[in-house]
Amino acid sequence: MSEQPPAAPETEGGEASPVVAVASKKKKLLLIGLIVGGVLLIVISAVAGWLLSRGGAADTKKAAAHAEAPAHKKVEAAEAHSAKAEHTASEGAASAGGATDEVALKAEAERLKQDVSKLQGDVQKQTEMLTLSDEAAKLKSEIEALKAQKATLESDKGKIAEGAKQIRAGEKKCVLSGDPAKRMDELRVCLGLSGAKPEPGAAAGKPADAHAGPHWSYAGESGPEYWAKLNPEWKLCANGRAQSPINLVGSFEHGAPPLQFAYKPGEISMVNNGHTVQANLKDAGGVDLYGKRYNLVQLHFHTPSEELVNGRAADMVVHMVHKSDDGKLLVVGVLLNKGKDNLVLKPVFDNLPKEEGSERPIASGKLDAGKLVAANAPYYHFEGSLTTPPCTEGVQWFVMKDAASVSPKQFAAFTALYPFNARPVQAVNGRKVDER
């Protein structure tokens, strides 16, 4: 409801006075001014409020923007850092992986290098062992030869003293030639000394034809080292490339040719040829190799064994010599160690000729070599030579793996005649050795 202003006083005659009219006009103007001022004040306040509200919002937005910017930057920075970290980690992982692979490869290369070095060492060691084994075998043979020579000299000393007494007493006569080089052999033959070699044509002491030629032995200046110098026809004893015996070291390829044994009891005749005791055999059968027959013609003995197995010799060896119709040779070697009496070789050991001389038959029994070796017995095989002058090569060798036995009495009976008659082992020179 609007407020009404008071009524102005009237003048006489019914009209208002001038003073009252002026005052009333002023009041109206003042009222209008107050109203306009109020309206203006309201408008100004509204504008000011609006402006202030806009300014505050802008400031708030700006402040928010300012506040958001670092946060955003922090987020971006964090994201960037995280991405960088992931990238770094990835690179690190890749780097670590690469480093790990490199380390592993280096370790593997080093291990392979060590393995190769070890293998080279093993090969060198085996080579040295083989060399030492051969050298040791040769030294052992030389030592045995010296021992045998000593034993022979000690034995000969007594025989010479006894022979000198017999010669002086006229109980024994020795016909000696005027040749000083032959006199010692002639004297040794006359006195029945070991290792003596009479000249061809001597009535009582003619050696077997297989051992004819210059005097040779197993020791001294006529020993194995000098065989090639004693006779030019024996040059293979020094420069042959497939000589026997050899040292059978380790294992070999299983490819030895099949050897078929076809022995039968044969007649025996004995001879002491000055280097060993030999039993010549007649109709004793033989062996078949690739369809070719090799007949057993003789067997003889060596002590210690000439063949070595891993550097070790047996007490003895019997060499059974075979010959084909076209003259090719094949030898079967059977190692012999002291043990039980050997019944197969008993006829031989019971009739050992104590003196060198001509061949004489043994009527007390026959020899069956088939009882000395089993039909499927294992053996070593190689191509070699004769182990005595002229050291002929092209001989097929079969050395049985399983040793037979001889009694101490049988061993003593032979070594009383020949304490040592073994050639040292020879170089293999790359020859093929196989076994069965």
Residues tagged active-site: 275
* Cβ-based neighbour number of residue 18 at 10 Å: 9
Q: How would you label 201-219 residue by residue, b for 16+ Cβ within 10 Å and e otherwise?
A: ebeebbbbebbebebbbbb
Distances (CA, A) of 25 to 33, 39, 40, 295: 12, 21, 22, 177
Residue 365: Cβ-neighbour burial (10 angstroms; 0-12, 13-18, 19+): middle
Contacts of 177 (CB under 8 A, 6+ apart): 183, 186
Unique residue bearing structure tokens 């008993």? 346
Element (H, E) at 383: strand 379-385
Q: Which amino acid is at 349?
A: F
- Distance in angstroms (rounded) separating the CA atoms of residues 393 and 241: 9
Q: Which amino acid is at 368?
A: D
Contacts of 156 (CB under 8 A, 6+ apart): 188, 193, 194
- Distance in angstroms (rounded) separating the CA atoms of residues 413 and 349: 7
Contacts 24+ apart (CB under 8 A), 376-380: 377/401, 377/402, 378/402, 378/435, 378/436, 379/256, 379/259, 379/332, 379/435, 379/436, 380/248, 380/252, 380/256, 380/433, 380/434, 380/435
- Distance in angstroms (rounded) separating the CA atoms of residues 90 and 418: 88
Q: Which two tokens stand for residue 8?
A: 């102005």
